[in-house]
Amino acid sequence: MGPVQAGAVVLAQQPVEPPPIEYAAIAPVLLMLTAACVGVIVEAFLPRHQRWSVQVGLSLLTLVVAGVALGAYARGAGTGLTTLAGTIAVDTPTLFLWGTLLALGFASILLIADRSVEQGGAFVAESDASSGSSGLGASSGLSASSGPARGATADSSAPSPTMTRATAGVSGMRTEVFPLAMFSLSGMMVFCAANDLLTMFIALEVLSLPLYLLCGLAKRRRLLSQEAAVKYFLLGAFASAFFLYGLALLYGYSGSVKLAAISEATAGSDRSDTLLFAGIGLLVVGLLFKASVGPFHAWTPDVYHGAPTAVTGFMAACTKVAAFGAILRVLQVALEASSWEWHYVLWTVAVLSMLIGVVLGLTQTDIKRMIAYSSIAHAGFLLVGAIALTDRGLSGTLFYLLAYGFTTVAVFGVISLVRTSEGEATHLSGWAGLAKRSPLVAAVFTFLLLALAGIPMTSGFMGKFYVFSAAVTDGMVPLVVIALVASAAAAFFYLRVIVLMYFNEPAADGPTVSVPGAFTTAAITLGVVVTLLLGVLPTLAWNWANVGGFVS
Amino acid sequence: MTTSFLAAEPVRAAAGVLQSNAWVLIALPLLGAAVLLLVGRRGNAWGHVLGCATVLAAFGYGLALFASALGDPHPVRDLYLFSWIPVNALQVDFGLRLDPLSLVFVLLITGVGSLIHIYSIGYMAHDQQGRTGGANTERRRFFGYLNLFVAAMLVLVLGNGFVTLYLGWEGVGLASYLLIGFWQRRRTAGAAATKAFVMNRIGDVGLALAIFLLFAKLGTTQYTEVFARADELSSGVLLAITLLLLLGACGKSGQVPLQAWLPDAMEGPTPVSALIHAATMVTAGVYLIARANPLYTLSEGGQLAVTIVGAVTLLVGCVIGCAYDDIKKVLAYSTVSQIGYMILAVGLGPAGYALGIMHLLTHGFFKAGLFLGAGSVMHGMNDEVDMRRYGGLYRYMPITFVTFALGYLALIGFPFLSGYYSKDAIIEAAFGQGSWQGWVFGGAAALGAGLTAFYMTRLVLMTFFGPRRWENLTTADGEKYHPHESPAVMTVPMILLAVGSVGAGAFFTFGERLVGYLTPALGELEEGHAGVLPHVLIPVLTVGLSALGALAAWLFVGRRRVEVARPQRVSPVVRAARADLYGNAINRALVVRPTDGLARGLVTVDSRGVDGAVDGLAGFLGAASHGLRRWQSGFVRSYALSMFTGGVLLVAAMLAVGMP
């Protein structure tokens, strides 16, 4: 920041030297942002009936082109570089995370784009624009968080019937979801590549704001969806405040927002440690919130439950990748020297997260909430790898993110298929005897649940193996023992669903399984294939995740 | 041991097209089994034809292979197929060993196997015992299992390493289990199958441990390397390996102390008894010891153990065989006893390997023929197996009678029939051991010959001669017996086997054909030392004892009236023999009861201790979960409060850790 302001003052005498930009390195991000902007223009100028196809085509094409650009750059890239005046670091972890995000984004866009499972798509229809605000719209959604609808999304009571009211009139979905998702993805990509805290904060907001909106766009169960959006927004703002406060304290401590400068400052010992430790604590809270690590997880079940299922999949997979990318970078680049102080604090946080996720997951009766608690437990496992400050810890966590992301997208894809006339049948009782009605869907879901539980021959097993073995090498045997016990206990609630699907009689008026359209089929297939492939041939991704560390 | 004794070095390449594609031998019956078992009801009409065709084709291939290998300068060849288990230090290749020993077995398995497959077409045509499907479904399943057995048995004898052998070993065990229990509706069949499986498991553990020991000490399990480096093993390890291999052989071949399953295995259909539990599978133990001959040759203790097991078994089998009235059980104990002879022979070391194999081959012919004959008798007698209900059947089933009689004569060692040559050679070799061993083993073998003549003559007299005791009796279903000759599809295989029973021994012996042929695989046959008895005397002694046995049978059975009801007031010896010389009781006391007790104890520990702990933990977690759920109230304000609390605690912890 400093040089630019100084440059403005002395503008007359001396031309500003623009920082050199490595366009090839950041091409994927630029492409994504451009496509998002073009998407907005499409919304504005194209006639309504053409928007869906153009937006879907544009998004998917951009993701592919960005992926190709990334691949082309990665082929010739060295150990990494920083660009844009050192605010963005493009190193091998960045490239891996970008690749993961683009691939997961592709699968998520496929899920979002589906219009055959839910007639006309799972998002607010065009004709709803007015009725939404007058009837079931934003105002009542706001009140839902405090007023008569108290506890509508809480664990302790089932959703009331008014929440599941279907909206009348179907005339195609709102296509704003596509540019919103693209903006969010761009933010995530910058978030995990940001090399200073201020850029990281901007990226955090860029990725979060579209997500808040996306959560509130469900066509069915409007109130639930909007309540989730508001909760997510309020708590997200709260967490951003933590992050910003921590940023300020760290700036006060080190005199810079650059990760490398903070790292240098912590190596010397003549400054106020209060600023440093308070700053680390607050900053980390902000990051842990995004990664839905317990005890900063409270939003997760409600938001996963309320958001449209495709968005939940997008959020669960991509946000986790971006947030853990940022956590890895902050811990390894900026805070490595002070690791002695924060190590046991985060150790405890990881244990708490695993315990909260597993214990609360045991008694959930809604499948989306169950997966939400599962994601909290997985966040704990990921944190185990992230606090092992070694190359193996880094690459193990990266692999875990990739594996978990694809499994999760496919899980939510399958969840979106099991429906009653009222919409998705997310209550577990509806899944009883599913294997008798549609053996294929039940088999696929069983496989994915086994992957989440970490059974061998799935990517989940390999991910856990890499992360835990890195932690053991780093001397955290007790933590790994706790993590193993937690994953054994977590297996219970995955297996419960499997038992329910295979060994219970289907209810007479139970849900049916819709025949998925091409988009959903492709997304689920992609997720299942990657889950299987990484379980059988983990070296495919491991070799890529394991090539190098961060640069700053 | 001098080098001249050692078997020929194997060559790791195949000579011709036939040899390099020898895997076809295994693939044919395996494919048959897969098709028959997977194709479902559509295969009912042609299943038995396919089953026979694959085995016949394998027999043809085996014959061609055998013929092409006759003039081969390298009679022992190793054929590498693929790397099977490539794990770090454990490198197991899947390959085939083509040598005289394995080729002889291939011909036996596919040859006798073909005849028995054809016989089964007739035998199983109207099988209604299973009643799980129609007769044709049952028959298709039966042929599927038979094909599976042939494939597994070929893997066993063709494999070029102990692990490949183990694969076949377990495969035949599975096929045997499936076929013993083929009539699923009979409780006794299921029990017999389980018994066979469990007792075989004891032997299998021995074999597996032997393989582990070989790998631990030599780092390899391929025959070539193991045998070439056998002299690196210390004598203690060698003894352990040979004893463990012997335990495996005892399990599979029904030798004392693991003999009790074999007679029960006769619950299966009779062709199964003929093929698996007489001619081929139960001889796998003999094959194992003959194949591992370089190990046994180096270990005198191992050899001695083998000979003791063989001698004891052959006597035990004879004694029990004298007391039974069930025609198949008598034949089963006869099998136990005859395999005892073979084990005794291969236990004699270089002096007996080839003799054991020769007896195995001749026994394969006449015992299979005898079983098929028994099956034919049962076929004509409403599946009756009690010989006390037979009598005078020679008039009603002449072909069965003639073929059976030839098999019988071969078995008791009637001069110049098969058994005469092969058994006589074993007895001679046993006497040739010199010192006390010659007297003990030779004496046991000669005594066994006499006893064999007794019980087999008794069987023939009770079945084919004497008054027609069945005339005034009815079956369990209340029907009259109508004995009749079996159809040609059954009698033709019996005739062919009878030809083998008559001529095989002479064919093998003249010019030392078989012994010479087997030399590259088993080494030179050592002539016995100066034996304890002169050479000329032994055949006279054997034939004399056999004649005595047959005479005794005529005196006690043929001349007297045979009661239809089993006499209850008998001597203690007979009572002990009827109780299988208390084999089952011993098993029950030594193995079953302790295992039951252990299992019960473990169940208690599991249900009280382990389950209790797990259930308690689960209950605790469930309660904790219900309690914690209250915190998830749905209020943003409480969520924010929880975040705030978490944040404060985290920062406080950071400060506490960082600034002591």
Determine the distance in angstroms separating the CA of A95 from the nearest CA of chain B, rounded to an integer.
32
**Mutation for B interface: A362, A365, A373, A374, most B CBs within 10 A:** A362
B-chain CB neighbours of A156 within 8 Å are: 629-630, 632-633
Q: Which two tokens stand for residue B67?
A: 């013929």
Q: What is the pLDDT of residue B438?
A: 84
- Picking from A151, A299, A345, the nearest residue to B650 by CB comes out as A345
The structural domain count of chain A equals 1
Instruction: Please list every residue in chain B whose beta carbon sits closer than 8 Å to the beta carbon of residue A278.
Output: 651, 654-655
Q: A138: pLDDT confidence band, cut at 50, 70 and 90?
A: very low
Which helix H or strand E contains A513, and what residues bound it? strand A512-513
What's residue A166's pLDDT?
40
Q: What's the confidence (pLDDT) of residue B3? A: 37
Contact residues for B593 (Cβ-Cβ < 8 A; gap 6+): none
Of all residues in chain B, what percent carry a pLDDT higher than 70?
A: 96
CA distance A329 to A214: 27
Average pLDDT over residues B229-249: 92
Beta-sheet strands, E only, within B35-133: 77-87, 90-98
Instruction: State residue B238's pLDDT score.
Output: 92
Least confident of A291-305, B59-73, B575-589: B575-589
Whether residue B647 and residue A281 make contact (CB cut-off 8 A), yes or no, is: yes
> Residue A152 pLDDT more than 60?
no
Chain B residues whose CB is inside 8 A of the A344 CB are 657
Strands (E), B18-174: 77-87, 90-98
B628·A360 Cβ contact <8 A: yes
Is pLDDT at A149 greater than 70 in this prediction?
no
* Arithmetic mean of pLDDT, A58-75: 94
* Partners of residue A231 in chain B, C-beta under 8 Å: 636, 639
Contact B651 A278 (CB under 8 A): yes
Contact between residue B163 and residue B155 where contact means Cβ atoms under 8 Å apart: no
Interface test with B, best of A143, A145, A153, A155 (most B CBs within 10 A): A155
Contacts of B650 in chain A (CB under 8 A): 281, 284-285, 345, 349
Question: From the candidates A230, A288, A359, which should be mutated to test the interface with B, based on the most B CB atoms within 10 A?
Answer: A359
Alpha helices, DSSP H, located in B473-610: 488-509, 513-522, 537-553, 572-578, 583-587, 593-604
Q: What is the DSSP letter of A173?
A: B
pLDDT band at A172 (very low <50, low <70, confident <90, very high): low
Lowest-pLDDT choice from B4-8, B32-36, B301-305, B492-496: B4-8
Residue B7: predicted pLDDT: 57
Residue B2 has pLDDT above 50, yes or no: no
pLDDT in tens, B617-626: 888 888 888 8
Q: Helices B636-658 and A273-290: crossing angle, nearest 10°? A: 140
B1 pLDDT more than 60: no
C-beta atoms of A234 and B647 within 8 A? no
Q: Please give the pLDDT value at position A315.
A: 94
Between B622, B643, B645, which is nearest A363 by CB? B622
Work out the pLDDT band at B296, boundaries 50, 70, 90: very high
What is the reported pLDDT for A260? 92
Question: Residue B249 — φ and ψ, nearest 5°?
Answer: -60, -40
Closest approach of B610 to chain A, Cα-based (Å): 15
Residue A428 C-alpha, separation from nearest chain B C-alpha, in angstroms = 17
**Chain A contacts of B640, Cβ < 8 Å?**
234-235, 238
Are B307 and B348 contacting, i.e. CB atoms less than 8 angstroms apart? yes
* Chain B nearest CA to A261, separation (Å): 20
Mean pLDDT of B48-55: 92
Across the interface, do B622 and A285 touch by the CB < 8 Å criterion? no
Q: What is the pLDDT of residue B135?
A: 67
Overall average pLDDT of the B295-318 stretch:
92
Q: How many helices (H) and strands (E) does chain B have?
A: 27, 2
Which of B497, B505, B550 lies closest to B373 in space, CA to CA?
B497
Q: Do A349 and B650 touch (CB under 8 A)?
A: yes
Say whether A359 and B642 touch across the interface (CB within 8 A).
no
| Cα(A169)–Cα(A166) distance, integer angstroms | 9
In a domain, A275, yes or no: yes
Confidence of residue A157 (pLDDT cuts 50, 70, 90): very low
pLDDT band with cut points at 50, 70 and 90 for residue B134: low
Which of B323, B332, B339 has the alpha carbon at shortest distance from B261? B332
User: Does A131 score more than 60 pLDDT?
Assistant: no
Outline where A114-176 has alpha helix (H): 128-134, 138-144
pLDDT at site A148: 36
- Sort out which chain A residues have CB atoms less than 8 A from B619's CB and list them: none
Decide if pLDDT at B212 tops 90.
Answer: yes
The CA distance from B88 to the nearest CA of chain A, in Å, is 18
Half-sphere exposure of A512 (CA within 13 A, CB side): 7
Output the pLDDT for position B495.
92
The rounded distance, in Å, linking the Cα atoms of A31 and A101 is: 14
Identity at B45, one-letter amino acid code: A
Contacts of B659 in chain A (CB under 8 A): 273-274, 277
State the pLDDT at residue A397.
95
As for the ipTM of the complex, it is 0.85
> Per-residue pLDDT tens for A519-530?
999 999 999 999
- CB–CB of A338 and B653 under 8 A? no
Contacts of A380 in chain B (CB under 8 A): none
What does the mean pLDDT of chain A come to? 86
- Pick among A296, A338, A339 to test the B interface (most B CBs inside 10 A): A296
Angle separating helix axes A48-76 and A92-113, nearest 10 degrees:
160
Q: How long is chain B? A: 660
Chain B nearest C-alpha distance from A302 (Å): 7
**Distance, CA of B451 to CA of A423 (rounded, Å):** 84
**Which residue carries 């009235």 as its tokens?**
B325
Residue B629's pLDDT is 83
pLDDT of residue A135: 36
Q: Which residue of A has its CA nearest to B646?
A: A295
Closest-CA residue to B329 (of B397, B408, B264)? B264
Task: Of B15-29, B63-77, B362-376, B585-599, give the range with the top mean pLDDT.
Answer: B362-376
Residue B569 has pLDDT above 90, yes or no: no
| Closest residue of chain A to B639, computed from CA coordinates | A298
| A344/B654 touch (CB, cutoff 8 Å), yes or no | no
Q: Which of B270-284, B356-370, B452-466 has the lowest mean pLDDT?
A: B270-284
User: Would you say residue A143 lies in a domain?
Assistant: no
Residues of B in contact with A360 (CB under 8 A): 625, 628-629, 632
Reply yes or no on whether the pLDDT at B306 is more than 50: yes
Residue A136 has pLDDT above 50, yes or no: no
Q: Which residues of B touch A234 (CB under 8 A)?
A: 636, 640
- What pLDDT is recorded for position B127? 61
Q: How high is the pLDDT of residue B82?
A: 85
- Select from B373, B441, B368, B433 the least CA-distant residue to B401: B373
- Residue A253 CB coordination number (10 Å): 21
User: Does residue B218 have a pLDDT over 80?
Assistant: yes
Give chain B positions within 8 Å (CB) of A144.
Answer: none
Question: Where exactly are the structural domains of chain B?
Answer: 1-298
| Average per-residue pLDDT for chain B | 86
Percentage of chain B surpassing pLDDT 90? 35
What is the arithmetic mean of pLDDT over B83-107?
A: 87
Instruction: Tell me the mean pLDDT in the region A53-60.
Output: 94
Structural domain of residue A182, as residue ranges? 19-129+175-545
Three-class HEC string of B170-214? HHHHHHHHHHHCCCCCCHHHHHHHHHHHHHHHHHHHHHHHHHHHH
* pLDDT, average across residues A300-326: 94
A162 lies in some domain: no
What is the rounded CA–CA span in Å between residue A513 and residue B371? 59
Query: Could you read off the pLDDT of B512-530 as tens digits, one per residue?
Result: 888 888 888 888 877 766 6
Adjacent-strand bridge partners of B98: B77
Query: Taking CB atoms and an 8 Å limit, are A363 and B626 in contact across chains?
Result: yes
Antiparallel, parallel or unpaired: β B90-98 and A512-513: unpaired
- Residue contact A281–B633, C-beta within 8 A: no
How confident is the model at residue B528, as a pLDDT?
61
- The model's confidence at residue A301, banded by pLDDT at 50, 70 and 90, is very high
Q: Is the pLDDT of residue A171 over 70?
A: no
Of B636, B644, B655, the CB nearest to A278: B655
A153 contact residues in B (CB cutoff 8 A): 634
| Closest CA relative to residue A453, chosen from A443, A463, A468 | A463
pLDDT at B5: 44
Q: What is the DSSP letter of B56?
A: H
Could you give the percent of chain A with pLDDT greater than 90? 62
Q: Do B658 and A230 touch (CB under 8 A)?
A: no
Is the predicted pLDDT of residue A129 greater than 80, yes or no? Answer: no
Position A64 confidence tier, pLDDT thresholds 50, 70, 90: very high
Q: Render pLDDT for A459-508 as a digit per residue (tens, 0 to 9).
A: 999 999 999 999 999 999 999 999 999 999 899 889 999 999 999 888 77
Residue A235 and residue B646: Cβ atoms within 8 Å? no
pLDDT of residue A13: 66
Whether the per-residue pLDDT at A198 is higher than 90: the answer is yes
Q: What residues form DSSP beta bridges with B222?
A: B161
Q: Find the chain B residues whose C-beta atoms sit closer than 8 A to any C-beta of A.
A: 618, 621-622, 624-626, 628-630, 632-640, 642-647, 650-651, 653-655, 657-659
**Residue A222: alpha-carbon gap to chain centroid:** 22
Query: Residue A156: what pLDDT?
Result: 46
Token pair of B581, please? 């010389």
Q: Measured between CA atoms, how close is B619 to chain A, in angstroms?
A: 11
Contact by Cβ (8 Å): A365, A428: yes
Which residues make Cβ contacts (< 8 Å) with residue B328, sequence separation at least 6? B266, B270, B273, B371, B374, B378, B385
DSSP single-letter state for residue A454: T
Determine whether the interchain pair A234/B636 forms a contact, defined as Cβ–Cβ distance below 8 Å. yes
Helices A177-193 and A320-329 sit at what angle, rounded to 10 degrees?
A: 20
* Coil, helix or strand at residue A258: strand
User: In the A/B pair of chains, how many CB contacts fall below 8 A?
Assistant: 115
Strand partners, A88: A83, A194
Q: How many Å lie between the alpha carbon of B616 and the closest alpha carbon of chain A?
A: 13
pLDDT for the residue B555? 87
Residue A443 is assigned to a structural domain of this protein: yes
Residue A151 has pLDDT above 50, yes or no: no
Q: Do B640 and A238 touch (CB under 8 A)?
A: yes
Judge: A239–B643 Cβ closer than 8 Å, yes or no.
yes
